[in-house]
Amino acid sequence: MNSKIVLVILSIFLSTHASAQGSKAQPDTTMREITMQSVEVIPSAGNVKGMLLMDMDIQYELEGAVDNMYNFKYELAEKQFKSLRRRYPHHPLPYFLMGLSQWWKIVPTNIQTLKYDDLFFAYMDTTIQKAEKLYDRNNKDYEAAFFLSAANGFTARLHSERSNWRKATVASKRSLEYLEKAKAGNGLSPEFLFGEALFNYYSIWIHENYKMLRPVLAFFPSGDKRLGIKQLRYVANNGFYTGTEAKFFLMKIYANEEGNMEAALDISRGLAQKYPNNAYFQRFYARALFVQGHFTLAERVCLDIMNKLDQRMPGYEAVSGRYASYILAYINQNKYRDFQKAKAYYQNSIMFAEMSNERDSGYFVNSYLNLARIAKQERELKAAKQYYSIVLEATDKKNAANKEAMNFIKAHKKI
């Protein structure tokens, strides 16, 4: 069991190791401080020549393409990635971008869909093959090491999600090995810094949250959680190929690990506004608004999600429907006191949870809990008891919802 946890968590910070960001942010004044803490020797100009990652003409050319990818306009993005592949058939970049496009088709489903797996693995395998040839010719090719770490990291992540533990182990090991070699490029570009930033943060986070893994972590380099966040902020503001992924991780770190929902909301707002068709960014933004009590804005975003779901837009599937339906139900129940709408949206949330096999989610349980409360208020005690019975089955005894359900059922045994 321990080895599985190690692989899953390691894969989290190895997976999105090199993706795309179209915005050209202003330089961050902390660049020198961060890079000098991250690399001892800055590579010579000779090692930089020919790197597509640092080719400004390529970045300018790809800006619209990567924006399209993050905005779930996959066909338009892939058309340009394939054009790049025709001109650079021996370079790993176009194959990696094609693989990344498949990855972002998987992400909105909470990594559940399997229909893009084969293409994803094929593109990542090709990325690895192309990068290995470059690295074999020159073991100072930091760009090749970067792609080897990135593609192996992504591969490890999906294998761990699919419980392919042996393959995940091999890919994770390779990703860490090449991450160390790619670090020599940190002083050149924020792209190279991204992997170390994730490692710095999550290696300490794992140490703090998984005591049984501390003996395993003793074999890894020491991390620095604060430096990791600082590095991620720098990459988020300055990275072209890693900027959006850095924001993606920062958003989740602030919301789920650091308890800084204001910072998470700020980042999610920017991502949602830049990529209005990205279902993952939209639902994260809606949740951040909801948790912070911005109900009017949350309602607007959720109605938009439901509309896009009805239109069957790419990426708008059951998971997004579950989020949006629950938030709309809660708002109608507690803000507008419109119980009929609230009940309909809670039922929708339950339906979407069942469609995505997420009956153990908080949205599923709380939908039944609130349906029970509404039924109780409307004196529909038989219905309330039915809903509470489901809550009782879905929760453990220490859960507050379980206790509420138990108390109601005990008090209404004759119903």
Question: Where residue 279 sits, what CATH number does that domain have?
Answer: 1.25.40.10
Q: Is the confidence at residue 318, as pLDDT, over 90?
A: yes
Q: Would the pLDDT of 7 be above 90?
A: no
255/280 same-domain check? no
- Same-domain check for residues 91 and 196: yes
The pLDDT value given to residue 211: 57
Which residue is listed with tokens 């229909």? 115
Mean residue pLDDT of the chain comes to: 86
Is residue 194 very low, low, confident or very high in pLDDT (cuts 50, 70, 90)? confident
Residue 264 lies in a domain: no
Residue 311: pLDDT band with limits 50, 70, 90: very high
| Domain final position from 226, 259, 292 | 259
Burial category of 165 from C-beta neighbours within 10 Å (exposed 0-12, middle 13-18, buried 19 and up) = middle
Residue 43 region, left (φ>0) first, then alpha (ψ -120 to 50), else beta? beta
Q: Which residue has the higher pLDDT, 199 or 281?
A: 281
Give the range among 21-30, 103-112, 224-233 with minimum mean pLDDT.
Answer: 21-30
Largest CA distance in the chain: 83
Flag whether pLDDT at 18 surpasses 80.
Answer: no
pLDDT tens column, 285-303: 999 999 999 999 999 999 9
Q: Sorting pLDDT into bands at 50, 70 and 90, what band is 40?
A: very low
Percent above pLDDT 90 for the chain: 69
Is residue 17 a part of any domain in this protein?
yes
Q: What domain range is 299 assigned to?
A: 274-411
Confidence of residue 87 (pLDDT cuts 50, 70, 90): very high
Across residues 38-42, what is the average pLDDT? 36
Q: Is the pLDDT of residue 67 over 90?
A: yes
The pLDDT score that the predictor gives to residue 61 is: 94
Please give the pLDDT value at position 203: 74
Distance CA(17)–CA(15), nearest Å, equals 5
- Is the pLDDT assigned to residue 28 strictly greater than 50? no
For the segment 225-253, the average pLDDT, to the nearest whole number, is 94
296 and 246 belong to one structural domain:
no
Say if residue 336's pLDDT is above 90.
Answer: yes
pLDDT at 376 over 50: yes
Q: Are residues 233 and 330 in the same domain?
A: no
Q: Read off the pLDDT of each residue in 126-130 and give the average, rounded to a whole number.
A: 98
281 and 249, same structural domain?
no
| 8 Å CB contact between 6 and 167 | no
Most confident among 23-32, 352-361, 375-384 (mean pLDDT): 375-384
> Is the same domain home to 97 and 122?
yes
For the full predicted model, state whether its pTM sits above 0.85. yes
Q: Is the pLDDT of residue 202 over 50?
A: yes
Q: Is the pLDDT of residue 113 over 70?
A: yes
Q: With 70 as the cut, is the pLDDT of residue 231 above it? A: yes
**Are residues 283 and 243 both part of a single domain?**
no
Q: Is residue 237 part of a domain?
A: yes
Number of domains forming the structure of the chain:
2
Average pLDDT value for residue range 165-178:
88
In a domain, residue 183? The reply is: yes
